[in-house]
Amino acid sequence: MEDAKITLPPRKQARVEIIPLIDVIFFLLATFVLFTLSLNRIGSVPVQLPVPGPPPPIRPDMLTLQASDQGNVYFNQELIDLGELPSRLDLWSKNVADPKVLVTGDDKAHWETTVRILDEVRKAHIAKVSMETHPRPTGR
């Protein structure tokens, strides 16, 4: 018996095919682009916000109490001590038939002073109280 040589076919070298990979990437990119274009935009409701106007004119039947950034209280533009407020409110509410109070503050007023003013107005049994949301210059 002759030595039989078995010959194997030549080995092919393994290689990575990039063309199908590029095709998959482009497919994913196209899908993502089409998906984002088909999204609905979030619609919003137009809202008109109020614009602060000038402060209301001073009325003789309305008392204006202003809190300032220093913790001071202005009683109709007159600087007073917070301790004087109860007696002044009592006197004012007795002299006016329908007492109304407007509580306001300057642009740096502290809530502590404003709440103390509101407490004193409540203790004086004045029911008609308004809060002004537009800051005024101090003492006005």
Q: Over the stretch 33-57, which tens digit does the pLDDT of each residue have?
A: 888 877 777 677 888 877 777 766 6
CA pair distance 62, 102, nearest whole angstrom: 7
Q: What are phi and psi of 132, to 5 degrees?
A: -90, 130
CATH code for the domain of 86:
3.30.420.270
pTM: 0.55
DSSP 44-88: ----------PPPPP-TTEEEEEE-TTS-EEETTEEE-GGGHHHH
Cβ pair 78, 89 in contact under 8 A: no
Residue-wise pLDDT for 79-118, tens only, equals 888 888 888 888 888 888 888 888 888 878 878 888 888 8
- Per the structure, the count of domains in the chain is 1
Asked if the structure places residue 125 within a domain, the reply is: yes
Structural domain including 95 reads 62-131
Asked if the structure places residue 27 within a domain, the reply is: no
